[in-house]
Amino acid sequence: MRRVLVVDVVGLSASLLGDHTPHLSRLAERGFQAELGAVLPALTCSAQSTLLTGKAPSTHGVVGNGWYFRDLSQVWFWRQSNHLVQGEKLWDLARKRDSRFTCAQLFLWFNMYATVDWSVTPRPAYFADGRKSGDVYSEPPELRERLRSELGPFPFMHFWGPGSGLASSKWIADATRVVMQEQRPTLTLAYLPHLDYDLQRYGPCDPEIKEQVSAVDRLVGELVDAADALDTETIVVSEYGITEVVGSVSLNRVLRREGFLRVQRALNGELLDCGASRAFAVCDHQIAHVYVRRPEDVPQVKRLLESVDGVGRVLDRDAQRDFGLDHERSGELVALSESTRWFDYYYWL
């Protein structure tokens, strides 16, 4: 059975390739290079879920990196259970076709309790005194100890946030190499995150980006060499590209001024009160799910959002169907920004 390694270099686009990416360019020359169409929304969780199910968000239900859980009256981002991804996964279908098929998944999202053979995913440790420490979760559990003994602790603070950088992608690449060499999976899925953060930190046209792309290219080269040695084919994909923007749009401030959004004045300041709001927006880059509690308010909220500078389009349920986004988890309305703008979540005045 032919073994395959799929490397998700998030944020990579054809415009970033060149003389500074010899490994990626060589891989394209010996195989092929093609445009991979984006899903709506073009976000990590949605794109990865489509990649692994072959379905649109209207079917697999991952309508963003987070959404409003109506039964809890809470917004949750970056949940980790694979049970949230609805529909048959790639590895389940492959296992039906050949019982010898095995799969390893390293750091793609919704990795906890996925029915793969080996998995590793970031999982912080929360202590009773309020401390938080970076760690990983693995299946089987002993895989975590095996990787920690060889690679050291996972550099969690370099995975997300202002400290994000190459160190986390390097650790993931090394862990991928160890799992491939020791377990020989039929399919290995690996996620290298760092380029995405530098594209947002500097902007896609900043001279610094070429150096960061070169750094990712070197990691990909190491993985290709390891895969070649194991007679494993390598495929590099990306979830989306990053484009330049000139400013953000504050949908929740608009909704608050018009009386749709409610805040709770608590000991720790003004807090968005989703359950008490008639309408509010869950914003993520260039898309916003707008949850409207009363059906009779939907037309008015739609007209209001369409009048906001920087909003490109507002999708009602019928229009969401055309984009493969008509799922019960989606907002009653979905706002798309203009190409040079993005949505922030700010609700304070």
- Per-residue pLDDT of 69-123, as tens digits, reads 999 999 999 999 999 999 999 999 999 999 999 999 999 999 999 999 999 999 9
SS (H, E, C) the chain: CCEEEEEEECECCHHHCCCCCHHHHHHHHHCCCCCCCCCCCCCHHHHHHHHHHCCCHHHHCCCCCEEEECCCCEEEECCCEHHHCCCCCHHHHHHHHCCCCCEEEECCCCCECCCCCEEEEECCEECCCCCEECCEEEECHHHHHHHHHHHCCCCHHHCCHHHCCHHHHHHHHHHHHHHHHHHCCCEEEEEECHHHHHHHHHCCCCCHHHHHHHHHHHHHHHHHHHHHHCCEEEEEECCCECCCCCEEECHHHHHHHCCCCCEEEECCEEEECCCCCCEEEEEECCEEEEEECCHHHHHHHHHHHHCCCCEEEEECHHHHHHCCCCCCCCCCEEEEECCCEEECCCCCC
* pTM metric for this prediction: 0.95
User: Across all residues in the chain, what is the average pLDDT?
Assistant: 96
In this structure, of 130-139, 285-294, 339-348, the range with the lowest mean pLDDT score is 130-139
- Per-residue pLDDT of 141-192, as tens digits, reads 999 999 999 999 999 999 987 888 999 999 999 999 999 999 999 999 999 9
